[in-house]
Structure 1
């Protein structure tokens, strides 16, 4: 079990390095917020913060920075103006694609020394782990 813990911390650090290198003009946290907004269909502020496990106050500040930067739009929900709906601007969508492309490139480089079978096993295993940790066991 010690090896598992050491691997967890090491892998987390390495993945954060890749994410940070891919992010220009936005923080890792802001990149994660934009990715979450993109993956949902016009989510509310609360829904997005909850999905990321973020405190709403911290989340609101980060969203405001993204709005000011032209990456995210916020509009009131028609049925209840207290609810704010989030969406990416064209600039935000382009930024998410740029970050994703860079992460994909770096991950491909990291896996290049492995055979196709090994790569497939790693991707499948990580996907399964993500489903389990996310409470979506199938």
Structure 2
């Protein structure tokens, strides 16, 4: 089957995941990580910072910096949990909801266009394969973690 990594490298580049700015909405330039954060907060009812960081497989320190940037941009709000004030809950501002919806619409439009170049059978095959692949990745204990450096044995 050749180089298994190559198709994923190409797909990552074509999705723009390596770009410093993945999307510009309402005067805001957002990175792919920030876009993912907005998506996760929008999809849950006031999740905690730790929940979103865990979902994205991001360490809390890096994640906290992203949250501070999104707060300064006026896209999210952070508030203490009513039951445990040590826990911070996240929510989108009205502007954040609009930005998240716009990104979602843009991505869905892009994916619809890309899929339109395929037959209905090919579309179903691709989507089914992606679901299967995501399920298989979830079974790996290395899912969502950085690639570990090989251990070098010094004798």
- Seen in structure 2, the aligned counterparts of structure 1 residues 18 and 9 have a Cα distance that, compared at 3 Å, is closer
Q: How many residues are matched?
A: 136
Residue number in structure 1 paired with 2:15: 15
Q: 2:80 aligns with which of 71, 76, 83?
A: 76
Residue number in structure 2 paired with 1:67: 71
Could you tell me which runs of 5 or more consecutive residues in structure 2 were left unpaired when the two chains were aligned.
141-155
Equivalent position SS for 1:74? strand
Residue number in structure 2 paired with 1:57: 61
Q: CA RMSD in A?
A: 2.2
> 2:135 matched to 1:127?
no
Could you tell me which runs of 5 or more consecutive residues in structure 1 were left unpaired when the two chains were aligned.
none
Q: Distance in 1 between matches of 2:139 and 2:71?
A: 31
Give 1:96 shift.
1.0
Structure having the larger proportion of residues in helix: 1
Residue number in structure 2 paired with 1:86: 90
Q: Distance in 2 between matches of 1:20 and 1:100?
A: 19
Contact 1:22-1:102 at 8 Å conserved across structures: no
Q: Scaled by the length of structure 1, what TM-score is found?
A: 0.87
Q: Distance in 2 between matches of 1:12 and 1:78?
A: 40
Q: Scaled by the length of structure 2, what TM-score is found?
A: 0.78
- Seen in structure 2, the aligned counterparts of structure 1 residues 126 and 52 have a Cα distance that, compared at 3 Å, is same
Equivalent position SS for 1:81? coil
Equivalent position SS for 1:40? coil
Q: Distance in 2 between matches of 1:56 and 1:17?
A: 21
Q: Which has the higher contact order (CA 8 A, sep 6+)?
A: 1
- Seen in structure 2, the aligned counterparts of structure 1 residues 20 and 101 have a Cα distance that, compared at 3 Å, is farther
Q: 2:122 aligns with which of 114, 118, 123?
A: 118
